[in-house]
Amino acid sequence: MKAKRIISAVLIAAIFILCIWGTYRVLRWKDTVKKYTSSVTQMYETGRNLTDVVFVGSSHCYFSVYPQYFWEDMGVSVFDLAVSSQDYKSAYYQLKELLKTQNPKVVFMDVYGITYDEQQVAGNEYRNLLSMNTSINSVEHVLMDSSKEKWLDYIFRFPIIHTRYKELGKFDFVDYKPNSFIRGETLTWRKNGQGEPLFADGELNPIPLDKDRLKWLDDMVKLSEKEKFSLVFYTSPYFTTQEEQAQTDAVSVYAEEHGIPMFDLNRLRREIGFDFYEDLIDSGHCNAYGARKIADFFENYLSENFDLTDHRGDERYWQWDMDLKWYDHCRILEGMEDAADMPSYTALASELSDTVTVISLEGNEYADGEYPDYVTALSEFGIDVMAEGAGKWIYRDGRAEKVLDNDVNAKEYYLELNNTDTLRLKYEGDYLFKENIMINRDSYYNKYCRLAVIVYDCMSGEVVSYRCF
């Protein structure tokens, strides 16, 4: 009887643990800003000792440093260990986490994080405190960078699930491979600069840094000496306040006293040709044009001061090859977003690789070239509308295949896009039938228009463009 009770107790405990784990797996906090992944996730997905150069910082960092530029120009493996609103304490512990698996030669630390003490948005607090795997390092991070009343929440993590009920999505319920090829950056070509910094000229005007900030600077120097990487301080260009600039100037003074390179790109904006109206998307974040100028500046610095290996052609560095492909991918998508007419849009869409494009032309009034714009637009996909008539096509690998005629008796068409997404095409009538084009339960119908183009990105596993004309 005693043995039976022990076995029963063990089974009950095991079932309880499995139930708790199953609940936690679904409801645990996940970073939803970058499609359920983050730079920390990508760090864990990177093979050991592949990263030459690391940039550490907040969103200023992941908007201003494009690893693709360094890879394309030099074959240098750059990684952005950048987290939204990353404060200086988070920067230290996240870098320590990276150093468990990587041995970078150079670490560029964006010191913008010293300008604030507390996270203003709960999501950013979670991103900084919950992104790392549970370890002694992550526990120390929580103890150093959060209030005592939150320690148990952040260390054990389970209480955080109560913030996530409303935002649960498909990736919470299925096993999926996280994006592992993006190197931490966020790509954009938008322009919306808002003026030059007012306090980044003339002599340095430092203000005293408190003991915590000074200790952080000391700790960063000690970490660089222990792990044998070259430490570089810098700030990305942004519209700095007078106090922020004074704090940055204080870091410049500290860096000079300790023999650490420091590049304040606000003060160096003219030297690098940075245009605060053309090279920013807002007052604090760069676009691709600004990131290009920053890359040129730091590439010159790296070339002059370090002997870095060109890894292009080495299969171990496939993630950097893939990331460069992703850059070209996103550049085309950005152009499609801005395209003013059908032929311009479809010409760009036809250039994309690693996509499945659904082309839905409804209505059959195309005899005698009555609608030349549609005929021209679809010819970019190699579709001869006058010969084939209206219907639905799948375009991939540079080839269009007609899979459905506009016939209510036509058999439905299905395509498994990946292990979570299924495309279904049918025809119930023209223009306003939402069931005509479905991906899972989401409709991508023609919205009362003759032509709908839906681009599904196989690299990221999502619809990245949906336009109706």
Q: How many CB atoms lie within 10 A of CB 162?
A: 9
Give me the torsion for CA of 8, 12, 14, 20, rounded to 10°: 180
Cα–Cα distance, 376 to 369 (Å, whole number): 10
Cα–Cα distance, 313 to 309 (Å, whole number): 12
Q: Which CATH superfamily is domain 31-326 in?
A: SGNH hydrolase (3.40.50.1110)
**Radius of gyration, alpha carbons of the chain:** 26
DSSP 8-state assignment for residue 411: P
Tens-digit pLDDT profile for the chain (469 aa)? Answer: 677 777 776 777 777 667 666 666 666 666 665 555 689 989 999 999 999 999 999 999 999 999 999 999 999 999 999 999 999 999 999 999 999 999 999 999 999 999 987 777 777 888 888 889 989 999 999 888 888 888 877 887 765 665 665 666 666 666 666 678 999 999 999 999 888 898 999 999 999 999 999 999 999 999 999 999 999 999 999 999 999 999 999 999 999 999 999 999 999 999 999 999 999 999 999 999 999 999 999 999 999 999 999 999 999 999 999 999 999 999 999 999 999 899 999 999 999 999 999 999 998 765 455 677 888 999 999 999 888 989 999 999 999 999 999 999 999 999 999 988 999 999 999 999 999 999 999 999 999 999 999 999 998 888 999 999 9
| Cβ-based neighbours of 99, under 8 Å, separated by 6 or more | 223, 227
pTM for this predicted structure: 0.89
